[in-house]
Structure 1
Amino acid sequence: MTEEQTVPPQKLRRKATVHDVARLAGVSIATVSRSLNKPETVRPGLRKRVDMAAAELGYYTNSIGKALRNQRSRLIGTIIPKLFDPLFSLVASGVQEALVEYDYLGIIQVAGYDNRDLMKHALPMIEKGAEGLIIFGQVQDKVLLDYCRQRDIPLLSIYSFAEDAPVPCIGFDNYQATTELLNLMIQLGHVEIAMISGRQPGNDRQQARVSSYIATMERLRCEPVIEEVDHEFGIQDGAAAFRRIIKRRPEITAVICNRDAHAFSVMTECRRLGLTLPHDMSIAGFDDLAYSSFLDPPLTSVSVSGYEIGRRSGIAMLRHLEEGMPLRSIRLETRIVVRGSTVRPNLNRPLLD
């Protein structure tokens, strides 16, 4: 005798139906359907009654059956460089929370920083039914672009804005944001400015920031000093990069780090070398992460709302799939949060050996 057969017949519970929920909530079947599938169309009071009735009865919509009938998966794929970085986590959180509100599920893939090789990360999500892809940074993989165009799979690039982007993008102009940060340094009196950058191949963010820096230094008629670090490794690479900068150009008075984490590492290394901050070295970062205002001194940084970028991108993709709204590029503004880590240069600072 099976375990199920040992249960007395009177103890077996019939699965609740939409009729049961409507009866308990005192509403029509149509109201139950709209409340569970399009809650924004139902008054909050009615929606609460339906939700309470459904919870009491243990009733849930049959999402799998609905997806099969509609030939829809309601899955969206998101590709980000890494999960451990606070910025990428914020972006992914914004996307995911938008999807949940619209009864979609999100799949996240980690692809590193080189957007020339995204297909191997995108294909598993597409094969599992992803109806659209949201990708951090500009898409530089022609194979993926061609594949999605041939199959009418919508792509949306986020965080970076570019007029000539191959797919619609929601983000900010990295070139302009970097130029504004450099102009702040120049206004303070700095001309000997260095940059700590991530690897550029396949990374449009670093490419744009380095291009802005080189153009600004040419305008100042100063030799650019760029040290690249590999974002795949830890923040300690910022300290090593700073040591190389000082060895090459001991007269440097300011450092722009293309990541807040590397700015923190540079601050630590400055103190180890006997420099007083910010008097002996001005330091600025990028993305204005939560801890940046708690550093000593507090870090000047380009403020970027990663969560908002993710949320707006998620909503844009959902409206495209649900309402047929075209995916359009949106340029967002950034601002420089000026804090204590940037001051006028100390031209009498003793040079380090």
Structure 2
Amino acid sequence: MDHKREMASATMKDVAESAGVSTATVSRALMSPEKVSALTRQKVEQAVLAVGYSPHALSRNLKRNESRTILVVVPDICDPFFAEVIQGIERTAAQHGYLVLLGDCAQQNQQEKTFINLIITKQIDGMLLLGSDLPFDASKEEQHNLPPMVMANEFAPELELPTVHIDNLTAAFEAVNYLLRLGHKHIACITGPENMPLCQYRLQGYIQALRRSGINVDSHAIIRGDFDFESGAQALDQLMNLSTPPTAIFCHNDIMAIGAMYQAKKIGLRIPQDLSIVGFDDIKISQYYDPPLTTVAQPRFQIGEQAMLLLLEQLNGNNVQSGSRLLDSELIVRGSTAAPKR
């Protein structure tokens, strides 16, 4: 009897027991996600995957062959940048009766089989990629057999997907140009991972701003970081040990900028009197740090919202052309930047 039960398909009751909620709550979370809290939805989503709940048990609309579920693939779920993007996705999805599953690409080796299984068993109707890569290997021909996909935050032309993002090159150019207008001549750059297209665009914006002002680009003043606090702090040490240390630093995200600010103060530098620092993203902590961080603000909620709306267009049978949908960014000037000392 127990063996037969193990072989049987998971039921809504199994999901409810795994999530620690009632079957009625499971039903609401799956069919009307806007009627339950985000925490409850997350518990139910995780339980669905944990017990292997069949897509046919999700009260699937058999006529249209829908699961009413989408998969959001996140490069690193611990990065606070993605919180508001995901919030924009979830709120828009809930308004249209869709459930959101989150997949963390930081654990891609372990997750790859799960992602593929969700597609093969038709447990998801579409995918939103918050990075520049598919979470599994697929040729261009094989991509045509995948569910509808939209990319948010990144732009990778080779994938030929509709994309929602900002103009990273121009945003970086304007941030560095602001430092130049303040009078800085020695401006360093702490970049993000080399394989990320947005980092390549931001680096080009930095280089173009310097060249436009007739300043030679010093490769030693460009340090590769990893979008975390530690790499920002380590890069600061390297830069301040140059024969001509920078008077200003442009960072590819706020996390590295805050790491650099922390390390600068640790070695006795005053910000912005001795060193100006600019970040990118305008995450919440940037306005509460000491001093508050000058940074490029991205409309993160709108990026998620617009990406979900694009995906809904495809799910409703409309033809959505690939290419870039640009949203506006804005340089927010705060206390971490000032003119250099004479």
Query: Using a 3 Å threshold, how does the CA distance of structure 1 residues 243 and 69 change in structure 2: closer, same or farther?
Result: same
Query: Using a 3 Å threshold, how does the CA distance of structure 1 residues 152 and 291 change in structure 2: closer, same or farther?
Result: closer
Distance 1:81 1:190 in 2: 34
Q: Is the 8 A contact 2:119 2:146 kept in 1?
A: no
Q: State the identity as a percent.
A: 27
Distance 1:185 1:84 in 2: 30
Q: Deviations over 1:171-224 (max 9, x none)?
A: 1111111111111111111120111112212x1111211222233334422414
Q: Deviations over 1:332-352 (max 9, x none)?
A: 1101001111111114xxxxx
Task: Write out aligned runs for 1:26-37 (5 A).
Answer: none
Q: Which residue of 2 aligns with 1:336?
A: 331
Question: What's the offset of the Cα at 1:93?
Answer: 1.7
Query: Using a 3 Å threshold, how does the CA distance of structure 1 residues 96 and 304 change in structure 2: closer, same or farther?
Result: same
Q: Which residue of 2 aligns with 1:274?
A: 268
Q: Deviations over 1:217-271 (max 9, x none)?
A: 344224141111223xx41321111001111244310011111111112112111
SS at match of 1:276: coil
Q: Which amino acid aligns with 1:239?
A: A
Task: Write out aligned runs for 1:152-301 (5 A).
Answer: 153-161=147-155, 166-201=160-195, 203-219=196-212, 220-224=215-219, 225-231=221-227, 234-301=228-295
Structure 1 portions without partners, runs of 5+: 1-35, 40-61, 348-353
Q: Is the 8 A contact 2:276 2:336 kept in 1?
A: yes
Q: Is the 8 A contact 1:162 1:173 kept in 2?
A: no
Q: TM-score, normalised by structure 1?
A: 0.72
| The 10-residue stretch of structure 1 (122-131 or 173-182) with the greater mean CA deviation from structure 2 | 122-131
Q: Which residue of 2 aligns with 1:19?
A: none
Task: Write out aligned runs for 1:9-88 (5 A).
Answer: 64-88=58-82
Cα RMSD (Å)? 2.9
Q: Deviations over 1:79-133 (max 9, x none)?
A: 111112211122112112211111111121111399xxx9667424323422211
Q: Deviations over 1:118-171 (max 9, x none)?
A: 966742432342221111133478943625533152221111357776211111
Q: Is the 8 A contact 1:285 1:299 kept in 2?
A: yes
Q: Is the 8 A contact 1:161 1:172 kept in 2?
A: no
Q: Which residue of 2 aligns with 1:21?
A: none
Q: Is the 8 A contact 1:79 1:108 kept in 2?
A: yes
Structure 2 portions without partners, runs of 5+: 1-30, 35-55
Query: Using a 3 Å threshold, how does the CA distance of structure 1 residues 164 and 249 change in structure 2: closer, same or farther?
Result: farther
Query: Using a 3 Å threshold, how does the CA distance of structure 1 residues 308 and 330 change in structure 2: closer, same or farther?
Result: same
SS at match of 2:199: helix
SS at match of 1:112: helix
Q: Matched residue pairs, number?
A: 283
Q: Does 1:151 align with 2:145?
A: yes
Distance 2:243 2:104 in 1: 37
Q: Which residue of 2 aligns with 1:108?
A: 102
Q: Which residue of 1 aligns with 2:130?
A: 136
Question: What's the offset of the Cα at 1:75?
Answer: 1.7
Q: Which amino acid aligns with 1:330?
A: R
Task: Write out aligned runs for 1:310-325 (5 A).
Answer: 310-325=304-319
Q: TM-score, normalised by structure 2?
A: 0.74
Query: Using a 3 Å threshold, how does the CA distance of structure 1 residues 327 and 86 change in structure 2: closer, same or farther?
Result: farther
Larger radius of gyration: 1
SS at match of 1:248: coil
Q: Which amino acid aligns with 1:279?
A: Q
2:119 to 94, 119, 126: 126
Distance 1:73 1:148 in 2: 21
